[in-house]
Amino acid sequence: MQLTAQQFADVLMSLRSSGSPTSDTEQRRFTRMNVQAKVAVASIVDGKAARCYTVLTQDVSFGGINLMQSVELEHGSRLLVRLPRGEKPPLMMVAVVARCKTLADGLFGIGAKFVVEADVNAAQQMVQAAERERQRISNSTLK
């Protein structure tokens, strides 16, 4: 799946306003726009959002996104990616991991392809996953 031109423009404008853009392009199926910004993702386990965390984008295209994160992921893993769109509601996309490359100790480059726009329950699942993660951290540090 790929984003519509309007969805891509909304996401790119919003990410650029919160990050530091550059304008390099590569010879790929879809033109990649380099933009560094923070986005929220959640791993998908058994069809539901599980662990929720933030990552940094490296670039975004109509067909996918490259991320930098501290979590190593397996090829084929699914993610729920929350893409900002300025004044509009965020775009929730299901993405599949196409590659995971070690960039440095504890830092991984994740290339993910967009599969489908997530259903309306995805945002609520992501909020619930984030709350479970906050509770897990709170419980582990208070004991």
Q: What pLDDT digit, counting tens, does each position of 61-82 carry?
A: 999 999 999 999 999 999 999 9
- What are φ and ψ of residue 74, in 5° steps? -85, 150
Is the pTM higher than 0.85? no
The confidence score (pLDDT) of residue 25 equals 42
Q: What is the CATH number of the domain that holds 88?
A: 2.40.10.220
75 vs 56: CA distance, rounded Å: 19
56 vs 67: CA distance, rounded Å: 6
Domain range for residue 23?
A: 5-142
**Mean pLDDT score of the chain:** 85
- Write out pLDDT tens, residues 17-76: 765 544 444 445 667 788 889 999 999 998 888 888 999 999 999 999 999 999 999 999
Q: Which residue has the higher pLDDT, 96 or 18?
A: 96
48 vs 79: CA distance, rounded Å: 10
51 vs 4: CA distance, rounded Å: 28
Asked if 14 and 86 touch (Cβ cutoff 8 Å), the reply is yes
Asked whether the predicted pLDDT for residue 114 surpasses 90, the reply is yes
Question: How many structural domains does the chain have?
Answer: 1
Residue 137 banded pLDDT, cuts 50, 70, 90? confident
Q: Which residue has the higher pLDDT, 37 or 127?
A: 37
| Chain centre distance of CA 76 | 15
The confidence score (pLDDT) of residue 5 equals 87
The confidence score (pLDDT) of residue 75 equals 96
Strands 38-45 and 78-85: antiparallel
Q: Is 57 helix (H, G, I), strand (E, B) or coil?
A: strand
101 vs 112: CA distance, rounded Å: 12
113 vs 57: CA distance, rounded Å: 13
Asked whether the predicted pLDDT for residue 100 surpasses 80, the reply is yes
